[in-house]
């Protein structure tokens, strides 16, 4: 069977739905395909079920890409304010949790329902459980084949996402297609992912499991000041997830467990003013007691602060203000929130999201070499790039 559409969108996630809606609004005949049974699964599980759908602080600095300027045009064409207006127009209540992160008050399902309603209004044809077997370009038309069907279109939008969480539909479809068309793909890696640690660190973390604190976690010149959590599996929490997008195997990360206080100076002052107080008690004025005890134990310091040498105080304060940890890996795509790398942005027009080599072929969302920081930026990229492709496809 041969069917004609103006546009076929592969992947009915955040970016694909947005592009289909926008193109449909322009009167284009749009077919939106997904191999999954349920639509918008990543949206549903996002933000702990409340979907952190955008961030008030969205700008190019919150994205990682080989071309750091690439996102600017799309973010300008469709900003976080535009998406907030859409959410408001559907009377979905939301709140800022922290650091500009906007979450639904009730449930992420509200965002999925909003997109499905908009797609229906824009007369988008949605087909689920479609397993594409081939895509070819003949005479400036794209032919998408599945089963005995060949669907023809003038514009093909690839919105098949990244590799994270394969069990809810992630696939390497977009990367394979790009390679088939000889488009460069930047090496992919799990990002916003828990790091894994050696037995020594694990033992410490297990003893502290459940404890959280604000920390500055750094890798080279990049740092994040957000929550950090000790768990049975190691170190986790937003600051660790954020740094995972920059960390490379073999590198150390540095952790400041007390970002606002110079511990060495604090301990020296205490030694003059309160020499008879136990060093662990002094440190627990600043960091949680359990953590203070373990750090003192590891540094082999105990007793009144007056009895501790300058050298030991310096070593102790370094392990609080500048604790170097060498992760041994990451938990991989099984738990990663996003995929670093993807379709090289040099292949794509930043104004339209269309391939520079193949007129009518578009890439949007996470499949591209654009990765947002934690905090709603990845969805904003999906909305912005999806909107843009929807205007030009
Ligand atoms: C647990 C978790 C929580 C997250 N929380 C947040 C958050 O709160 N805020 C935020 O900004 N980001 C969050 N993210 C990241 C965000 O979900 C993604 O960056 C975003 O969904 C990417 O949108 P996308 O449309 O490009 O890809 P996706 O949403 O992954 O959509 C891709 C679609 O393509 C389909 N597909 C794949 N292969 C094929 C194929 N071969 N044929 C047909 N269809 C195919 C998939 O089934 C899927 O529906 C989270 C991610 C995870 C895993």
274 and 325 co-located in one domain: yes
CA of 193 to the centre of ligand 1 (A): 15
Of all protein residues, the one whose alpha carbon is nearest to atom 30 of ligand 1 is: 161
322 and 353 co-located in one domain: no
Tell me the C-alpha distance between 153 and 144, whole Å: 8
Domain containing residue 305: 194-331
Query: At residue 381, does pLDDT exceed 70?
Result: yes
Query: At residue 254, does pLDDT exceed 90?
Result: yes
Q: Identify which of 341, 353, 349, 346 has the alpha carbon closest to the alpha carbon of residue 384.
A: 353
The CATH number for 250's domain is 2.40.30.10
Q: Single out the residue in 281, 306, 331 at which a domain terminates.
A: 331
Cα dist. 218→26, 101, 225, 254, 328 in Å? Answer: 46, 21, 9, 5, 16
The predicted-structure confidence for 83-136, as pLDDT tens digits, reads as follows 999 999 999 999 999 999 999 999 999 999 999 999 999 999 999 999 999 999
- What is the pLDDT, as a whole number, of residue 211? 96
The predicted-structure confidence for 49-85, as pLDDT tens digits, reads as follows 999 999 999 999 999 999 999 999 999 999 999 999 9
- What is the pLDDT, as a whole number, of residue 78? 98
Is the minimum distance from the CB of 101 to ligand 1 under 6 angstroms?
no
Three-class SS state of 298: helix
Q: Single out the residue in 300, 331, 362 at which a domain terminates.
A: 331
Q: Are strands 149-158 and 2-10 parallel, antiparallel or unpaired?
A: parallel
146 and 163 co-located in one domain: yes
Which residues, including other chains, have CB under 8 Å from residue 264's CB and lie 6 or more apart?
313, 314, 317, 318, 321
Is the minimum distance from the CB of 34 to ligand 1 under 6 angstroms?
yes
Please identify, by atom number, the ligand 1 atom nearest to the C-alpha of residue 366: 26
Q: Are strands 185-191 and 338-343 parallel, antiparallel or unpaired?
A: antiparallel
- What is the pLDDT, as a whole number, of residue 363? 98
The predicted-structure confidence for 146-199, as pLDDT tens digits, reads as follows 988 999 999 999 999 999 998 888 999 999 999 999 999 999 999 999 999 999
Give the Cβ contact number of residue 357 at 10 Å: 11
Percent share of the chain, pLDDT over 70: 99
Region 268-277: mean pLDDT is 92
Percent share of the chain, pLDDT over 90: 94
- What is the pLDDT, as a whole number, of residue 2? 61
Q: Identify which of 11, 40, 344 has the alpha carbon closest to the alpha carbon of residue 173.
A: 11
Is the minimum distance from the CB of 111 to ligand 1 under 6 angstroms?
no
CA of 339 to the centre of ligand 1 (A): 10
Tell me the C-alpha distance between 256 and 200, whole Å: 19
Query: At residue 1, does pLDDT exceed 70?
Result: no
Of all protein residues, the one whose alpha carbon is nearest to atom 42 of ligand 1 is: 35
Q: Identify which of 42, 72, 43, 44 has the alpha carbon closest to the alpha carbon of residue 58.
A: 72
Q: Is 228 exposed, middle or buried (0-12, 13-18, 19+ CB in 10 A)?
A: buried
Is the minimum distance from the CB of 159 to ligand 1 under 6 angstroms?
yes
Which residues, including other chains, have CB under 8 Å from residue 61's CB and lie 6 or more apart?
none
Cα dist. 144→1, 41, 132, 136 in Å? Answer: 12, 24, 7, 7
118 and 259 co-located in one domain: no
Which residues, including other chains, have CB under 8 Å from residue 358's CB and lie 6 or more apart?
137, 181
41 and 92 co-located in one domain: yes
Indicate the number of domains in the chain: 2
Q: Single out the residue in 297, 315, 331 at which a domain terminates.
A: 331
The CATH number for 8's domain is 3.50.50.60
Region 235-245: mean pLDDT is 96
CA of 11 to the centre of ligand 1 (A): 9
Please identify, by atom number, the ligand 1 atom nearest to the C-alpha of residue 161: 27
Is the pTM higher than 0.85? The answer reads yes
Is the minimum distance from the CB of 33 to ligand 1 under 6 angstroms?
yes
Is the minimum distance from the CB of 12 to ligand 1 under 6 angstroms?
yes
Alpha helices in the chain (DSSP H): 14-25, 41-45, 71-77, 80-89, 109-121, 173-180, 199-208, 238-244, 263-273, 279-283, 289-298, 310-321, 377-392
Region 377-386: mean pLDDT is 98
Q: Is the separation of the CB atoms in 365 and 382 below 8 Å?
A: yes
The predicted-structure confidence for 313-366, as pLDDT tens digits, reads as follows 999 999 999 999 999 999 999 999 999 999 999 999 999 999 999 999 999 999
Tell me the C-alpha distance between 211 and 231, whole Å: 8
Please identify, by atom number, the ligand 1 atom nearest to the C-alpha of residue 132: 42
């Amino acid at each position: 069977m041969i069917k004609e559409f103006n546009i076929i969108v592969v992947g009915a996630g955040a970016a694909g739905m947005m592009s289909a809606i926008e193109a449909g609004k322009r009167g284009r005949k749009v077919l939106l395909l997904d191999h999954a049974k349920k639509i918008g699964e990543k949206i549903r599980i996002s933000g702990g079920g409340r979907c952190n759908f955008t961030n008030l602080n969205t700008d190019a600095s919150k994205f990682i890409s080989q071309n750091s300027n690439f996102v600017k045009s799309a973010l300008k064409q469709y900003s976080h304010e535009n998406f907030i207006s859409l959410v408001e127009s559907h009377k979905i209540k939301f709140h800022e949790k922290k650091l500009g992160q906007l979450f639904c008050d009730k449930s992420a399902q509200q965002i999925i329902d909003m997109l499905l309603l908009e797609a229906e209004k824009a007369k988008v044809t949605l087909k689920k459980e479609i397993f594409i077997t081939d895509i070819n370009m003949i005479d400036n038309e794209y032919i998408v084949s599945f089963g005995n069907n060949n669907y023809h279109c003038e514009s093909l939008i690839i919105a098949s996402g990244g590799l994270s969480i394969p069990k809810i539909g992630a696939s390497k479809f977009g990367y394979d297609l790009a390679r088939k068309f000889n488009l460069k793909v930047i090496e992919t890696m799990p990002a916003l992912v828990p790091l894994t640690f050696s037995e020594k660190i694990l033992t410490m973390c297990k003893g502290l499991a459940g404890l959280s604190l604000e920390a500055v976690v750094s890798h080279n010149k990049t740092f994040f000041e957000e929550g950090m959590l000790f768990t049975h599996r190691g170190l986790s929490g937003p600051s660790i997830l954020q740094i995972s997008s920059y960390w490379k195997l073999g590198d150390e990360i540095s952790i400041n467990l007390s970002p606002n206080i110079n511990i060495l100076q604090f301990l020296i002052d205490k030694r003059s003013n309160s020499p008879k107080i136990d060093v662990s008690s002094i440190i627990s004025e600043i960091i949680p007691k359990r953590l203070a005890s373990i750090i003192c134990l590891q540094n082999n310091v105990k007793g009144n602060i007056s009895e501790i040498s300058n050298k030991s105080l310096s070593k102790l304060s370094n392990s609080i203000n500048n604790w170097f940890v060498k992760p041994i890996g990451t938990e991989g795509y099984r738990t990663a929130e996003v995929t670093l790398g993807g379709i090289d942005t040099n292949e794509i027009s930043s104004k339209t999201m269309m391939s520079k080599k193949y007129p009518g072929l578009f890439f949007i969302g996470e499949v591209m070499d654009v990765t947002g920081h934690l905090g709603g930026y990845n969805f904003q990229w999906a909305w912005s790039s999806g909107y843009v492709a929807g205007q030009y496809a």
